[in-house]
A = this chain, B = another copy of it.
């Protein structure tokens, strides 16, 4: 529901019943541009008609033509340059987007119960690697935490986190064992950009023990770094023996 296909957005009519509302003018222009790109008529880096040309061709105002170009620019299909013109984006620059639902959504989406337990929370001395990742000033305090997630009381996932203490509300840093992951997550990593690294690893023996999985199970390890206000590194270990724990994801190419 949230995302609709990047191209073809306006071609297929509104689903359900025969409510065919006349498409907006700017969607017609968008469709025209998309068709020319898809057919290869306008290859990568090709110049597309300017706002003025579209204005004349489709007999609309400049703002309407502009909206079509702007929409497609936001979708990464076009690239605009003030003074120069509008061009078909090179596909390598419009990189693919993979959406990973967070743990809570993933579990509740399966209609299951989600609990989380704080296994460990302690102050640690910062190693240089972590200091860089967290973008720390001189010897700022850092906590290391481990959180175990449960799906219907069954352990499924373990999180390792390095948290810059000064940026987390104090009440969340007490030695509790039951937490609501949503609260924790949103306080530590709000609406900010982050970089992730995904890696396949073999779970260590103690992790396997905590997750109740066979030793040396292949796991996904995700490192997350946020910049801006909060600095956080989270290591999430996602086991995937079969369908049950598989990480559902969604990608726009």
Contacts and interface: CB of A to CB of B under 8 A. Distances in A.
Interface of A: 2-3, 5-8, 37-38, 74, 76-77, 91-102, 104-105, 186, 189-202, 218-220, 224, 226-228, 238-240, 246-253
Copies in the complex: 2
Given A5-B193, A5-B228, A74-B74, 11 more contacts: A2-B94, A6-B193, A7-B191, A7-B192, A37-B191, A92-B102, A95-B102, A191-B253, A197-B246, A198-B198, A224-B251
B224 A201 contact: no
A249 B100 CA distance: 12
Given A38-B191, A198-B247, A98 B97 contact: yes
A246 B189 contact: no
A39 B91 CA distance: 38
A192 B253 CA distance: 6
27 contacts: A3-B193, A5-B192, A5-B227, A5-B228, A7-B192, A37-B191, A77-B191, A92-B104, A94-B191, A95-B99, A95-B101, A96-B100, A96-B101, A98-B249, A100-B251, A190-B253, A192-B253, A193-B252, A194-B251, A196-B249, A197-B248, A198-B247, A200-B200, A200-B201, A201-B240, A218-B218, A226-B253
Contact of A186 (B91, B93, B227): B91
Nearest to A79: B2
Contacts of A97: 97-99
Given A191-B77, A194-B252, A226-B253, A102 B98 contact: no
A96 B102 contact: yes
A49 to B, nearest CB: 19
A214 to B, nearest CB: 11
Contacts of A227: 5
A218 B202 contact: yes
Nearest to A224: B251
A36 B91 CA distance: 36
Contacts of A7: 191-192, 228
